[in-house]
Amino acid sequence: MAGEWLIYAVASIVCWGLVNVLDSFFIGSKVYENMWDGMIVSSLYKILGVFLVGGIFFTKVMEISLANVVLSMLGGALISAAYMSCFAAMLYYNDAPLVQVVWVLSSPLVVVLGYFFLGEEFAPKAYVGMGVVFLGAFVVSFTKDSFKCKLEKFALLLVPMVVLYSASEVLMKYVEEVRNIDFGQSFPFVCLGQVLFGIVLLIIRRNPRHIGRIIKKNWKLFFSGEALELVGLFLMQLGIAKAPSIAMFGVVEAFMPVMVIALTCIIVFFLRIFERSKMLKKIYENMLSDIPLTRLVVFCLNIFERSQILKKIYTENMLSGLPFKVIATAIMMIGVYVL
């Protein structure tokens, strides 16, 4: 069961977990004032995927047909629309692990959509897997008093995310398997679809200056987050290709809620070490301001100064209902494996 694929799978969810932590920080520090801000910034930064992956697979990309280009871009637009629902839920209650618990519900939905739109047959045990996944999701609802929000409203905000993300997965599976398009060929256009989605939102919202200010002020963190997301996506696809079965990869991916909690805990621990960062920053600025390495240190210390934001999110939101989140994750992992 262990092997090279497991390394890629674990590395991919680490990347995605860090992206979740960054999104929680952006929302908690009011960088994103609404779901439109988060979605526009995230979509526009996908231009990195267009140029990087498009450049690497340039020869293959040029061979793709117009119909497959349109389908791939539609898949990207669906992913962005799904993330917009995610941002809406996190702005209501900033708890990334809880979002990930709900996200696992996309696994049984993908199976159902694959049956109707791709004609894929699934064994009777798939029904058992679906039931177990939903059971895991219901475990969280048993402890709704542990959360500082109405779980019903929170879950309702995430319904479009699950539906749209599942639809994008089925569409991309159709493009890659039925229409025989390689991932390297379709991925740049998936990213382009996300970029165009962001541009459309930018036009509708008519706030380019506002978005420009947000990007200019936080471009280093945004760049880091999008780079992590692209690496995570690449590792995910590589892990799926090398895994003995998609179900086994799904089990690892279902571990995401606990991964986000663990990564946040580790980050908060290191942030506490630098609680006196203002004093350290002043020393570095006064004594070593001309040394390039110091600029990196000062940049890190600027992040550490806002450590209380992430600490508050972690203690007040992510740790609420923790035992039930872990239990739900374990149950849903079993359900995904059965699927």
Phi-psi region at 3: left, alpha or beta (left = phi > 0; alpha = psi -120 to 50): left
> Under a CB-based contact definition with an 8 Å cutoff, are residues 301 and 280 in contact?
yes
Residue 325 neighbours by CB under 8 Å, 6+ apart: 97, 98, 101, 140, 257, 258, 261
Would you say the pTM of this structure is higher than 0.75? Answer: yes
Q: How many CA atoms lie within 13 A of 154 on its CB side?
A: 22
Cβ pair 229, 22 in contact under 8 A: no
Q: What is the chain's pLDDT, residue by residue, as a tens digit (339 residues)?
A: 456 778 888 888 889 888 888 888 888 888 888 889 888 998 998 898 888 877 777 777 888 889 999 999 999 999 999 999 999 999 999 888 889 888 888 878 887 887 787 777 777 777 788 888 888 888 877 776 677 788 888 989 999 999 998 888 888 878 877 888 887 788 889 889 999 999 999 998 877 888 888 888 888 888 888 888 888 877 876 776 677 766 666 677 778 888 888 888 887 777 666 655 555 555 555 555 555 545 555 555 555 555 677 788 888 888 888 888 888 888 888 888 887
Residue type, 36: W
CB 79 within 8 A of CB 167: no
Ramachandran category for residue 206: left, alpha or beta (phi over 0 → left; psi -120 to 50 → alpha) = left
Which amino acid, one-letter code, is at 245?
Answer: S
Beta-carbon neighbour count of residue 232 at 10 Å?
A: 19
Q: Residue 305 contacts by C-beta under 8 Å, 6 or more apart in sequence?
A: 277, 278, 281
Task: Please give the Cα distance from 69 to 74 (Å, whole number).
Answer: 9
